[in-house]
Structure formats: C-alpha cells, structure tokens
Amino acid sequence: MPEVSIITSRRDFVSAARSGDKFVSASLVMQVRSRPDTSGPRVGFTATRKIGGAVQRNRAKRRMRALARDVLIPDAQSSCDYVLIARHNTGKISWQQLVSDCRSLLSRHRKKAN
C-alpha cells in the first residue's frame, strides 16, 4: 500500500477544485488533481454545514476516512490529490452503497486518465 498523506492546507483544496477533475455520485463527490512530484497520494476530506450539525458532519468525515483507508488508498495513483466531499446522505447511506459509489468514482477517474 502506498504511503498516504492528509491534505490540510486550503491552497491544496482550492487547487484540487480549480484544476482537478470532479466526479459526482449520489453520496460522494471526488475531486482528483495530478501533481508533478512523485510522492505518494494525498487525501483530503470536506463536510460543509449543508450536511447538518457537528454530529452529522463528524460522522460523514469518519465514514469518508474509513472509505479512503479501505477502498481509495489501495487503488490510488501515487502522484494525485484526492478530495472527498460529503453529500447530504453520506452519513446515513449503507456502508455497502458508499463503498460501491467510491469504487464507481475511482473507475470513472481511471477511464478519464487513460
């Protein structure tokens, strides 16, 4: 499994939104940006106030971190930034559906990259 870093700076989130590719599913939004360096993949998580209160946002972020660890990172490209954005049902949808949505987004990214 590649070594993964967490995106924490606003500049990296904004550059992923501006110059990256965006893939949308019913429960998740994934922004992917290629970097010129060859270090490992980086992952960032966002849950806005539209999701709900702090409890709902934290639940959505916990689920996205688990999703990144179990599904995203094993298939991630080494020089890419991945930003996962929670949608209104990220914290409520079944785990199997969330995994399915993430795999679908990854396959769409791979198709576009090739």
Domain locations in the chain?
5-109
CA pair distance 88, 25, nearest whole angstrom: 11
Report the candidate in 47, 55, 49, 104 with the shortest Cα–Cα distance to residue 75.
104
> Which is nearest to 31 in space by CA: 114, 112, 100?
112
Phi, psi (rounded to 5 degrees) for 40? -65, 170
Q: Decide: pTM greater than 0.85.
A: yes
> Is residue 33 predicted with pLDDT exceeding 60?
yes
Q: Give every CB contact of residue 11 below 8 A, 6+ residues apart in sequence.
A: none
3-class DSSP state for residue 70? Answer: helix
SS3 18: helix
Instruction: From the options 1.10.390.10, 3.90.1150.10, 3.30.230.10, 3.30.1330.60, give the CATH code of 5-109.
Output: 3.30.230.10
What residues does 5 pair with on adjacent strands? Answer: 42
* pLDDT per residue as tens digits for the range 36-59: 877 889 999 999 999 999 999 999
H helices within 1-114, ranges in order?
Answer: 10-19, 54-67, 73-75, 95-113
Predicted confidence (pLDDT) per residue in 53-83, tens digit: 999 999 999 999 999 999 998 888 888 899 9
